[in-house]
Amino acid sequence: MVNLNKYLLSAFAVFAFSVPSAIAQEEENVEEVIVTGSRITNPNIVSSSQVQVVTAADIENRGAVRIEEVLNDLPQLAPGQIAQTANGSNGTATANLRNLGCSRTLVLINGKRMAPGTVNGGSCADLSQVPALLLKRVEVLTGGASSVYGSDAIAGVVNFILDDSFEGFKASATNSFYNHENDNGKLRALHDSYGYKKAPSSVTEGDSLKLSVAFGGSINDGQGHITGFIEHVNTNPILQGAYDGGACALSGGDAKCGGSSTIPAGRMYDFGYKKAGFTPIDTAVSDFGFDYKLVGDEYVDRAGTLYNYNPTNHYQRPQDKINAGFFSKYSITDKAEVYADVRFTKNQSPSQIAYSGTFGDLRSVPCYNANFSEQIYNAVCGNWTGMGGSHAPNFATGAEALAYISALNGQVADESIIAYAAPIRSLKRNVEGGPRTYATKYENITATLGMRGDINDDWRYDVSYQTSQVDYSEEIQNDLSITKLLRATNVINVAGVPTCVSVLDGTDPDCIPYNLFSGGLPGDGGVQAIHDANPDIQTYMAIPNFILGDSSETIFQAYVEGTTNVSIPGAPDAISAVFGYESRELESDYRPDASAQAADRTGAGGPIVALAGGYDVDEYFVELGVPVTDALNLEVGMRFAEYSTDQDTDSFKLGAYYQLNDDLSVRGTLQTATRHGSITELYRGQGSSLTDLDPDPCGTDPESGEGPTATLEQCRNTGLADADYGSDLKSPADQYNILTGGNPNLRPEESDSTTLGVVWTPSNVEGLTLSLDYFDITVEDRIGTIPAQTSIDKCLATGAATFCDLIERDPIMGSLWVSPGQIITTNTNVAETNTSGFDIIFDYTLNTGLGPVDIKGISTIVDTDTLIVLPGEPELECAGKYGSSCGKNPTPEFSGNYSAELAKGDFNYVLGLRYLGETDTLNSDNIDFEAKTYVDATVKYSWSENINFTIGASNLFDEDPVYTSSAGTAPGNGNTFPGYFDALGTYIFLNISVQY
């Protein structure tokens, strides 16, 4: 817990030291200076770190209603959580610097840490909380910054600088949408060949409206200032069926339409007849390995029929968001200023995915089922020796029916029959209900109270207390209850009425029979008997799940900054210093309802695990700015942290800036950084989940007929029985079970980062600035998991217990997608990663006959991006690659973002160009990503001194993304990666802004 005595003592010491001195000093305005990467404000200390700046004008030119879309255009950032993901979305927006993950990217507002945006114990900030209208700029710093800011700054820092001293009034309205021509001939022909509905030839989708207001002014004759803001964003959803790329679930790269064998009419297949000891009487009626679908009231061979689940999935989630708040400051003395701010966000962004279904959670059906036709009964019961139960027996009373079932149990006990429940597995898509939805709502309030000022002419202080609270609710709709599914299919005739056995024995008096066996309709029509039972059967079967949660972070910080009396001989100034203390306390409480925790949802992959935990940390930090000569200064930083988890960490920084001459300067840093495990990484309970994987290499693809790609001996390494080799082991949706969970014994990650740069401002080329910076970041003891695909590949290749012990196959069918089959991926300190490369940034302003032109841009070259999964394992190179153990986000070796702006009279014309280099796949789909070039254009018109209009378009030429079946779930969506590519067509926006 937080040590309040330590808070009070630190606050009192700084207050007692500062206020009397402040009263005695001459009047002088107190102004906050924000320098990303340091708290030293001495103008003689030039930063040794590379900081990429995104200006308010850059954001305005993009016209985006969501700030993460602007950041993701920068080549230094990879996609995180975005609005264009559905399955795998948590309803937030995150920053992912150098593709090291949002948990290794520290996000600040005006130099102060943003709190975690979720309640499930993660550490990632939610960018939805940033008020864009007040943004002055965004600063992106590469390399470890833990010595300055503490844990999480492994990859670097994203600092949103807000204008908290705004004077006047301004308002902004932005309307935007996507326009796309569906003219992908290859995919449209593919949809025709499968008889699937094609996307419209042209679509205009995803309308968004953003309204923002900000105001500010002085109070009490300039002693104080208040700035307020409010913004509202409303975005309409986009469905995948509206686009060629999303109209079907691709398979084999982009060669064919795949889909799920959980089909609307219902699939029933052999789930262990031979292993149970049954034998067929007449193989012409049914035989081992049957695979049926329902047509009318009879079972026929499924013949590879699949369900196209893509069209109902969100390509873009809807959003309804309100941001509001204020910033204030007031000088209580000439040298002491109190400041306070409050920010509130309410964000609702539900996601929609395909219809639910039985998903194999129904694994047997009693042979007395009242809804079996005679043909179905014979196929799954009557034709099998050792099977008990007669066809649709009818009983006068419930008591007689229960006595019949009791007699069958007696026959099983005396071994006169093997069983009376047919071991058939149901894969029935519930198209008679509604698509699954995950309605998430976040409410966040962050408040800061602090005091800052001058101690004397040389020293300043800043003491602050920040608290952040996130409240969360989620309703999961239209998933089927496994408990009710099993009850609703255990049905027997009483007086000619199909009746749930659970009604007869009192277990569930409300049970309604779920008739999977009568009226199989053609195509995706579903089952007529279920349509006839609506809406009552849906109300009974599709129970909602509810999740509530809250999280909090409190930060107390106190530091002094100023100039010492110590200097290096011959130096132009004395050494500047910062001495500070910071204490943080984090808590999370994530509360799924009992049904969700019991995994009572079909297709969920396992329980939603509750979480309650937290920790606190005390940190001490020092920074030194050391002038050496007029041309050379050094930076030194160190931070020491003591965690309540009994972990101690330290971080260090050494930087230098040297002005070689008027044109050329060099800069560099050597830094260490740390990241303590998040609450979820430490304390989350173990539970099953789902992951996207290549088809099981030990099985035969039931759709293509392609056999195993691994040998029998290799597959034995994974625990597969010889009899199951070459059987159907493929998941209907290419999703496989994994076991996830926290580990309280995790050690903090450590990283070493090096940056070295050159800045050139040639005096003979006025207006040109060019910088070249090298970066190298190595993360050791990386907190993570052994990727499931890596465990499979390494187990097949080596048979090593390290990997093979993580694979647990289903004992009945040998699969990894049928519970209890799974791959263990719990957290551990396991991996080592390294990324290195170059950033080239330029800015050139020149005068032309048309008017002044500003040309600027950034290019990123990724030289290496390596991963060592386990100590002693070979290094995997991910630069220029994507997929498999390298993760889903592509890492091009070269990418860039460039713009040219011409000012002419009342107009500004902006032309932008974004480039993504090619990347090669490590997946089995053989779809490499070609290079992509996107062209953007914006026109700004100043109608008057106070009113401006802006119209623009991104992806002006409607460039299609690359589509691949391996995209899967987040960050994949709709057979592509919408955070990486411009997946939705041409983005068009109109903005009107007013300022007084």
Q: How many CB atoms lie within 10 A of CB 653?
A: 27
Kindly provide the residue ranges of all beta strands, DSSP E only, lying in 305-392, ordered along the sequence: 314-316, 319-333, 336-348, 351-355, 365-366, 384-385
pLDDT for the residue 320 = 97
Quote the tokens at residue 559.
């530091």
Grouping H, G, I as helix, E, B as strand and the rest as coil, residue 508 is coil
Task: Report how many helices (DSSP H) and strands (DSSP E) the chain contains, helices first.
Answer: 17, 52
Dihedral, CA of residue 668, residue 840, residue 130 and residue 119, to nearest 10: -70
Closest of 972, 955, 792, 786 to residue 882, by C-alpha: 972
Quote the tokens at residue 611.
């979480």
Are 134 and 214 within 8 A, CB to CB? yes
The dihedral built from the CA positions of residue 264, 265, 266 and 269, taken in this order, carries a sign that is negative
Grouping H, G, I as helix, E, B as strand and the rest as coil, residue 405 is helix
Summarised one tens digit per residue, pLDDT across range 616-665 is 999 999 999 999 999 999 999 999 999 999 999 999 999 999 999 999 99
Task: Report residues of the chain scoring pLDDT below 50.
Answer: 1-33
The dihedral built from the CA positions of residue 120, 123, 129 and 132, taken in this order, carries a sign that is negative
Enter the DSSP assignment of 925: T
Are 918 and 931 within 8 A, CB to CB? yes
Q: Point out which residues pair with 635 in neighbouring strands.
A: 625, 655
CA 440 to chain CA centroid, Å, is 14
The dihedral built from the CA positions of residue 135, 140, 146 and 151, taken in this order, carries a sign that is positive
User: % helix / strand / coil in the chain, to the nearest 5?
Assistant: 15, 45, 40
Angstrom distances, CA of residue 321 to CA of 123, 221, 688, 705: 21, 36, 32, 48
Domain boundaries, the chain: 51-251+312-355+437-476+547-676+748-787+825-995, 266-304+365-422+482-541, 683-744+789-823
Quote the tokens at residue 995.
């300022």
pLDDT for the residue 7 = 34
| Fold (CATH) for 51-251+312-355+437-476+547-676+748-787+825-995 | Maltoporin; Chain A (2.40.170)
Quote the tokens at residue 188.
């449209």
pLDDT for the residue 34 = 58
- In terms of DSSP H, where are the helices of 414-526? 482-488, 501-504
Q: Is the peptide bond before 971 cis (omega within 30 degrees of 0)?
A: yes
Question: What is the C-alpha to C-alpha distance for residues 496 and 505, in angstroms, rounded to an integer?
Answer: 18
Query: Burial level of 722, CB count in 10 A (0-12/13-18/19+)?
Result: exposed
Dihedral, CA of residue 234, residue 237, residue 242 and residue 245, to nearest 10: 100
pTM, to two decimals: 0.89
Question: What is the C-alpha to C-alpha distance for residues 13 and 32, in angstroms, rounded to an integer?
Answer: 21
Enter the DSSP assignment of 130: S
Question: What is the C-alpha to C-alpha distance for residues 795 and 801, in angstroms, rounded to an integer?
Answer: 8
